[in-house]
Amino acid sequence: MSQATRDPVRTTRAAPRRGAIVALLLAAMALTVAVLLGSVPGPLGTAIAVALPWLGLFLAPLVIAALLIRPRTAWIAAVPVVAWTVALWGFLPVPWQGDPSPGASGLLVATQNVQAGSGTGAASARALAGQGAQILAFTELDGDSGAAIADELADAYPHAYRVGTVGVWSRYPILDEEALDLGLGWKRALRVEVDAPGGPVSVYVVHAASLRPGAQSARDGMLSALGEQICADRSHRVIALGDFNAVSTDPALAAIAGRLGEVRFGGIGPSFTWPASFPAVRIDHVFQRGFAAASGRTESAGASDHLAILAALSG
């Protein structure tokens, strides 16, 4: 067979491959941009947001295939890669940030879901207090873990407020306290005003409703109501932390993320918090406003299925 005969066959076979790769790349870009713009609400938007950090594993072979099959148009591959990177910026670590340090006048806060029934309350409290945090927020508290944490922190953290499955312990006086149900019908959130260095800080602790198939509306409603509560809060300095049961790019977090900035993470790995044995998503967060600088890291504490978050806020 001559070269002239073989070339059309090769071209015919390559064309569908090129078309398929371009289509997949453009589909990946569309999904990424949709999440970036928060334009896919409900379960589909949540599913895309959860998958977004792992989309890079899918994009890498597509980019390589595009370079091998049609190098001259491989620039198309750069479009979804750039969109993915921009959308994922909140997830990626910032290598030039060091370990959280609030400085002399700042705050070091910590939060962890202690997993009801795990018996890890005292161990988690001891570990996070040992890191020097001045405000500790715990979620998914049951009777035993709440009592164990209270006993462990009684001396060093004399100011505390607990409601339902959430609680906050502080080295500084609590000036005001409020239980929040956020439309759920029972209390899974709270607000306290802490008399911290530099002035009062409004602190929200939330344990959002679990994300279950067919029952997402309870979680979405809680997060939306929390966003409205924060919008109405006139405090100069605000912190919202806990288990939001939503990743950073989930559209359900838009009402909160639009008013508070999420603490950025340093280090060399993704800042995922769940499950602790092999972290795949970050559903625990620290948001803030009124602080000039904020940095965080994940921390193993106790035997919970969630990693804890330590966050330094200063300025």
Mean pLDDT computed over 247-275: 86
How far are the Cα atoms of 64, 81, 84, 134 from residue 71, in angstroms, in the given order? 10, 16, 21, 55
Query: How many helices (H) and strands (E) in the chain?
Result: 8, 13
Percent of the chain scoring above 70 in pLDDT: 65
pLDDT, one tens digit per residue, over 137-178 is 999 999 999 999 999 999 999 999 999 999 999 999 999 999
| The 284-289 sheet, strands edge to edge | 174-180, 189-196, 199-207, 238-243, 284-289, 261-262
Residue 72, pLDDT score? 63
Q: Which residues on adjacent β-strands are paired with residue 177?
A: 192
Q: CA angle, 157 as apex, 154 and 163 as ends, to 5°? A: 80
The whole model's pTM is what?
Answer: 0.79
With DSSP H G I counted as helix, E B as strand and the rest as coil, what are the percentages for the chain, rounded to 5? 40, 25, 35
Residue 126, pLDDT score? 97
Q: Which helix (H) or strand (E) holds 186?
A: none
All domains of the chain in start order, with CATH: 3-87 (no CATH), 107-314 (3.60.10.10)
Residue 38, pLDDT score? 52
Query: Quick check: 95 pLDDT over 50?
Result: no
Q: How many residues are given for the chain?
A: 315
Residue 184, pLDDT score? 87
pLDDT, one tens digit per residue, over 110-123 is 999 999 999 999 99
Cβ atoms of 134 and 103 within 8 Å: the answer is no
Query: Quick check: 96 pLDDT over 50?
Result: no
Instruction: Tell me the pairing of strands 238-243 and 189-196.
Output: unpaired
Confidence of residue 208 (pLDDT cuts 50, 70, 90): very high
Instruction: Tell me the pairing of strands 293-299 and 261-262.
Output: unpaired
On average, the pLDDT of the chain sits at: 82
How far are the Cα atoms of 26, 95, 101, 149, 192 from residue 23, in angstroms, in the given order? 5, 33, 46, 53, 51
Query: Quick check: 305 pLDDT over 90?
Result: yes
